[in-house]
Amino acid sequence: MENMLKKVFFALFVVAIAACGSKPRVNLEAEAGALKPTPQHAVIAKDVVGLFESISYKKVPFNDSISSVIFDNLVKAMDQGKNYLMQADIDEFEQYRSTLGQDFRSGDLSAAYHIFNVYMKRYLDRLDYALTQVDAPHDFSVDERYTYNRENEGWFASEAEANDQWRKRVKYDLLNLRLSGNGSDSAAVKQKETLINRYKNLISMAKKTDNNEAFQVIMSALTNAVDPHTSYFNPYFAQRFNEEMANTFEGIGARLTTENEVVKVADIIVGGPVYKEKALQIDDRIVGVAQGEDGEFEDIIGWKLDHAVAKIKGPKGTVVRLKVIPAGQELTAEPKIVSLTRDRVVIEDESAKREIKEVVGDDGKTYRVGIISLPKFYIDFEAYRRNDPDYKSTTRDVRLLLDTLKQEKVDAVVMDLRFNGGGSLQESIELTGLFIDKGPVVQVRDTRNRVEVSSDREEGVAWDGPLGVIINRFSASASEIFAAAIQDYGRGIVLGSQSYGKGTVQSAIDMSRVISPTDRILLKAKADDREGLPVGAPQFGQINITLAKFYRITGSSTQHKGVEPDITFPSLYSAEKYGESSEPAALPWDQISAADFVPIADLRPAITQLVNRHQSRMEASPAYKFLLEDIELMQKQETETSVTLQEDRLKKEREEGRLKNKSRADALQQMKINLPLGGGAATNVDEGLDFIQEESLAVMADYVALVRP
């Protein structure tokens, strides 16, 4: 007990020495205005390290090697572009490179907070200097360049070098505003005011950074050193993560942002209280919040967004009153009072959606293909645990969509999983069960090398017709489980590009389950001590930790390798830069024994024919040529790191780019094609067709023609 008290005491007052006893630690008390770790932070850090060393899949000793990785992660997380820190700062930080791991194990966060504090000082110094340069003379006829990406450059060697970089940054910002203005003196004054307000807003937000936010950055540096998919979330981030997983939350049904230190309505969620009551509109500003029908109002101007949102959200059925300045009115106007009863809000724009498209096949026949777009694998765990009969989940939603598609007599179904980063493992298994009649779906190996085969145990299928699955480089985890199972069973055709390659399983652990009773007493923390925390947020945050690895039913891991499509499209996103294989701390690929399963069909002969027809179409497709140009252009842009600050030259370059884009957009408009690969609309292309999806539908038309008797 005495040793434990000493550790927390040292973490709080930062007077500990290094484990070897030869190197003095940072005294944060001597740093004016420094952010400091709390005793709670110290205990959480210590316990997270304990989890890594005891129960995580990738058990890593916290030695010099892991300390060096944590060090690099922390510096990169703060200043990846090398725009703030000086070489002298990095040299001074180096004394902590080999000790950070041991520090975390003992709960000593002084060195990590010192590094963060120095970064924040440099950040504010640079912005303060930027303000002095807005009214400084700038010659836009001089031929010089601004390096906007300094990641591969050295750290600033001197104050003069840093100042020169930021002089150019300000000049570039002004030049952008000049090129979008009319060139008049009044416009120039307005542009400078805009830039001054921008920098002041950044300074204001930076000064609101608190020790909890610093702790989040520091803990991310720690967890990413062990595993790219293990994350610690503070209470605010934890609540947000869990709501995103559920696709539901309890509140007023509005997405909020901040502008000039005032909370503003950015979006209104269909079906929520705000939408139903028509109580607010986009760009309304909320300046005060009161709880219940008679609670006192709290002024929230200048509050951090997370704290303001925590006051506005709340349990279903409770009342919140808001002081609102309507959009377009001055902030000094008399606010109106809006009373809303909070409710359960479903985020429909991130739920499964369906549409039907007609495709004319090479045989001249018209086929109806149902497309189900699935942005993630979601489930409302809390409602599920409560046995709520109306709990929301991916499988329940998709089953209903398949029922409607069958009623409308589609010839084939395509599951579009592009940019689906995963989510619930159980949902990926149950969703697979909609397309196969019982059988193993995925194998999971835990930290003790025990392998469990997870199966679909429900008889029958929701759709037994032709099936396609579209994936891309950002289809990950649960998406890969589903796509791999469909491919391994021969149940459908997988189209697109190589998936992400995330073959690990995370479990969410509420840190209150980890913190010992002794530490709770030490922290004077009570189970109901939740002052200032969002409703439902875990008191000590949560850790999503890798506890297992999943494997295809063939025994092959998707880790690193991902899922290779049967019909492959070129990708904008290279494996070297995007995906699991680009993560230094990622687990390796390996293989285990295959599960006992019986393929539904051997699609290899059909796939050979489909590939040939697909390639023939591509060779004759103007849109395909545009897609290849996109890839070449993106690769070129990724190598560019600077831009000219000579006004006439930049203006000419942008005009040439605009004309080229317009010509390209006009051509795409004629073909009714939407590029790039992700399905996002190209400039000036209205209601065009997503090329990857469109060609995938053509492949499915070929497939239906092949398998239909």
pLDDT at 11 over 50: no
| Type and span of the H or E element at 383 | helix 381-385
In degrees and rounded to multiples of 5, residue 688 shows phi and psi of -80, 180
pLDDT at 331 over 90: no
User: What is the token pair recorded at 303?
Assistant: 């509050």
User: Nearest 5°: CA angle at 330, between 329 and 333?
Assistant: 85
**Residue in the block written with tokens 């944060």:** 28
Among 88-97, 175-184, 316-325, 677-686, the minimum mean pLDDT is found in 677-686
Q: Are 370 and 410 in contact (CB under 8 A)?
A: yes
pLDDT score for 29: 65
Q: Please state the rounded mean pLDDT for residues 353-369.
A: 93
Beta bridge partners of 690: 674
pLDDT score for 549: 95
**Of 282 and 660, which is predicted with more confidence?**
282
pLDDT at 668 over 70: no
Residue 281 and residue 284: Cα distance in Å, rounded? 6
**Of 524 and 186, which is predicted with more confidence?**
186
Among 167-176, 306-315, 547-556, the minimum mean pLDDT is found in 306-315
Residue 75 and residue 221: Cα distance in Å, rounded? 9
User: What is the token pair recorded at 553?
Assistant: 């039913």
Q: What is the DSSP letter of 349?
A: G
**Of 408 and 535, which is predicted with more confidence?**
408
User: What is the token pair recorded at 677?
Assistant: 């690969």
Whether the CA torsion 142, 143, 146, 152 is positive or negative: it is negative
The CA radius of gyration of the chain, in Å to the nearest whole number, is 28
Q: Please state the rounded mean pLDDT for residues 138-156.
A: 93
pLDDT score for 454: 96
pLDDT at 467 over 90: yes
Q: Please state the rounded mean pLDDT for residues 426-452.
A: 95
Q: Please state the rounded mean pLDDT for residues 369-383.
A: 91
pLDDT for 25-58, tens place per residue? 677 766 767 899 999 999 999 999 999 999 999 8
Residue 536 and residue 236: Cα distance in Å, rounded? 10
Beta bridge partners of 644: 145
| Type and span of the H or E element at 508 | strand 504-510
* Mean pLDDT over the full length of the chain: 86
Q: How far is CA 143 from the centre of its chain?
A: 39
* Residues of the chain above pLDDT 70, percent: 90
Q: Please state the rounded mean pLDDT for residues 118-134.
A: 96
| Type and span of the H or E element at 146 | strand 145-147
User: Nearest 5°: CA angle at 13, between 10 and 19?
Assistant: 30
Residue type, 227: D
Q: What is the DSSP letter of 369?
A: E
pLDDT score for 437: 93
| Type and span of the H or E element at 268 | strand 262-268
- 3-state SS class at 70: helix
Q: Are 679 and 418 in contact (CB under 8 A)?
A: yes
Strands 493-496 and 467-471: parallel
**Which residues are catalytic, by number?**
477, 488, 502
**Of 536 and 128, which is predicted with more confidence?**
128
Q: What is the number of other CB atoms lying within 10 angstroms of the CB of residue 17?
A: 12
Among 182-196, 421-435, 448-462, the minimum mean pLDDT is found in 182-196
**Residue in the block written with tokens 């992660």:** 73
Q: How far is CA 107 from the centre of its chain?
A: 28
pLDDT for 577-615, tens place per residue? 788 888 888 889 999 999 999 999 999 999 999 999 999
* Residues of the chain above pLDDT 90, percent: 58
Strands 542-551 and 231-233: antiparallel
pLDDT for 216-255, tens place per residue? 999 999 999 999 999 999 888 888 787 777 777 888 988 8
Among 196-200, 271-275, 565-569, the minimum mean pLDDT is found in 271-275
Please report the domains of the chain, with CATH numbers, ordered by start residue.
2-226 (no CATH), 248-346 (2.30.42.10), 349-600 (3.90.226.10), 615-707 (no CATH)
Residue 519 and residue 516: Cα distance in Å, rounded? 5
User: What is the token pair recorded at 635?
Assistant: 């690769």
Q: What is the DSSP letter of 289?
A: E
pLDDT for 614-646, tens place per residue? 999 988 887 788 778 777 877 777 778 899 999
pLDDT at 170 over 80: yes
Model confidence at 678, pLDDT cuts 50, 70, 90, reads very low
pLDDT for 84-119, tens place per residue? 999 999 999 999 999 999 999 999 999 999 999 999
pLDDT score for 536: 67
Q: What is the DSSP letter of 250?
A: E
Instruction: Count CA atoms closer than 13 A to 694's CA, side-chain side.
Output: 18
Q: Please state the rounded mean pLDDT for residues 50-78.
A: 92
Among 170-174, 544-548, 614-618, 663-667, the minimum mean pLDDT is found in 663-667
User: What is the token pair recorded at 75?
Assistant: 């510096």
pLDDT score for 685: 31
Among 72-86, 93-107, 127-141, 533-547, the minimum mean pLDDT is found in 533-547
User: What is the token pair recorded at 150?
Assistant: 């300094």
Q: Are 543 and 581 in contact (CB under 8 A)?
A: no
pLDDT at 413 over 60: yes
